[in-house]
Amino acid sequence: MQYLHRVPGRCYKKSKMSRVVSYIPRIAIFAAGVAVAVLTNSRRGRGGIDPAAEQDLKRSIADLAGRMEAQESANATRFAQVETRLDEHASKLADIPSTSQIVAAMEQLLSKTMTSLDERLTTQAHSIEALKTTVTQTDSLLERVLESLDSLESYTDPAELAGVSVAQRAVV
């Protein structure tokens, strides 16, 4: 199992941890070779090895092999956990909208807001025009009413008005 990581601007390369893990079987083979060499040299020199020492050496080699397997298993488990977390993070990143999607959504929202504002301003402009027309019509009507009152006043005699006012004063 090789773990490759992307280096920006370059190809994929092996991480340092994967290199360390690849050395473990080599170290085990080297240790076994050393043990075999020791056994072979001791037999040649004395004609044989002490059975207790041989058993002790075999137990040590078996213990070393067991520890190596346990370490390799632990590393494989840890790498599997890391890979799982990387996959989870990748799926979470895929769910996050991109900058272009966010910008497009903001542009759409701004467009709707501007359209709504334009419609309200148009409605207000129409209302203002209607009010101006109403004010103009009211001014025209008021002017005609005042002209009518002036013309009525000129048709009435000022002496009659003086007599009516004296008569009204006496009644009161």
**pLDDT over 70 at 102, yes or no:** yes
Per-residue pLDDT tens digits for 7-32: 455 554 555 556 666 777 777 778 88
Quote the pLDDT of residue 61.
87
Q: Where are the beta strands (DSSP E) in 34-89?
A: none
Q: Tell me the C-alpha to C-alpha distance, in Å, between residue 48 and each of 13, 53, 61, 91, 166.
A: 49, 11, 19, 63, 163
Q: pLDDT band at 1, cuts 50/70/90?
A: very low
Are 76 and 1 in contact, with CB atoms under 8 Å apart? Answer: yes
pLDDT digits 0-9 by tens, 31-84: 888 888 877 776 655 555 678 888 888 898 889 888 999 999 999 999 999 999
Q: What angle do CA 69, 72, 73 make, to 5 degrees?
A: 85
90: closest CA among 6, 10, 2, 1? 6
Q: Which amino acid is at 50?
A: D
Predicted pLDDT of residue 76: 92
> Which of 92-96, 126-130, 137-141, 165-169 comes out lowest in average pLDDT?
165-169
* pLDDT, tens only, 118-164: 999 999 999 999 999 999 999 999 999 999 888 888 776 555 555 55
- What is residue 51's predicted lDDT score, i.e. its pLDDT? 81
Taking the C-alpha atoms of residue 93 and residue 127, their distance in angstroms, rounded to an integer, is 51
**CB within 8 Å of 54: residues ≥ 6 apart:** 39
